[in-house]
Amino acid sequence: MRRLIFDFGSENVRMGVEGGRRPPLSEPAVVAHRLTGDVVAVGEQALRMIGRTPEGLEAERPFVRGGVRSQRLAEALLKHLLARVGGHGFRRPEIWIALAAGSSPIDRRGLGVLAQRAGAGRVRYCSLSACRALGLELPLFQPTGTLLVDVGASCTRIELLSLGHSVAQLKVEMAGDHIDEAITRLMRDRYNLMVGSATAQSIKHALLGQGSDEAIANGRDLVTGLPQSVTLERQEVLPAVEMLADQIAHGVRELLRDVSPELVADLAEHGIFLTGGGARLAALAPMLQDRLDLPLQLDVEPEQTICKGLQLALDPKNGQRLRLRSA
């Protein structure tokens, strides 16, 4: 029986099938539920409810900062995903999960228990950064330093790898959500306009991901209480990206301070690999390059990289080197 692979992100969960030729299935990591605990909607349907729910109904993200925020909601989301492949011969399938460095045995056990309650069979784990490196086709198992800067939604993970293992890692508590929050404050303080998180995120994607010079923000006028639209220019949101770049650059310097000079020297040749959803923030890469004076390479398909790496980890040769863990 073929195995399933999972990449649990704060914004989206991606699921693939061993040997599958299609891109991984992606669902927004959102669950809508009543205060009584009853689940109302999951995934795309729940995402559309954010900011639009009546009293007694909430739409929440079950994963945050690489961990489980709500076991109950995470189980509902995973059960929904497993049900989507349940009619294709997958009964209590073995699943493989990419897990961030620093996750405790309690984190792993908790994730394994909720996965099995949701309908999974055996649960196995692979290092998130190792999956990134495999997916990017980097020399993971060679005696050379590879530095990954993974800019997610809720945090940025900086990790140095060599010989298939983590040498050093550091987490910066700032990432894509920081840009959304900065846009929300900007609209409130400069334009007296209240916008929701979904609107702030769409503005971020338009101005920093798609490269538009302007974006229309629709929200509620704080003075009149009526609907209002404002045109926001790209230059207005760049200070938030500069703040993120400053924090990441500081984190890289902190991490490299206690690393052997040989591994640091490798970075002068190979540079830094920028991945995660933040790799799509067009202004971030040149800002980091200016601050660190190191070559920087972009992950061109950050949404697919972890699942691609998990597929490669299923190769027994790679799996033995990565020392995979079971639940």
pLDDT score of 50 more than 60: yes
Q: Do 245 and 237 meet the contact criterion of CB atoms below 8 Å apart?
A: no
Helix and strand numbers (H, E) in the chain are 11, 19
pLDDT digit string (tens) for 194-210? 999 889 999 999 999 88
Residue 5 pairs in a beta bridge with 16, 96
pLDDT score of 314 more than 70: yes
pLDDT digit string (tens) for 282-293? 899 999 999 999
- The CATH class of the 4-130+305-326 domain is alpha beta
Nearest to 241 by CA among 284, 297, 205: 284
Q: What is the CATH number of domain 138-298?
A: 3.30.420.40
CA distance 279 to 299: 7
Instruction: Please report which confidence band the pLDDT of residue 88 belongs to, taking 50, 70 and 90 as the band edges.
Output: low
31-35, 73-77, 208-212, 316-320: segment of lowest average pLDDT = 316-320
CATH code 3.30.420.40 region(s) in the chain? 4-130+305-326, 138-298
Q: What is residue 239's predicted lDDT score, i.e. its pLDDT?
A: 96
CA distance 83 to 50: 23
> What is the spatial order of strands in the sheet that 227-233 belongs to?
193-194, 214-221, 227-233
CA distance 268 to 251: 17
Nearest to 157 by CA among 148, 145, 165, 167: 148
Phi and psi angles of residue 101, each rounded to the nearest 5 degrees, phi first: -60, 145
In our burial notation (b when 16+ CB lie closer than 10 A, e otherwise), range 70-92 reads beebbbbbbbbbbeeeeeeebee
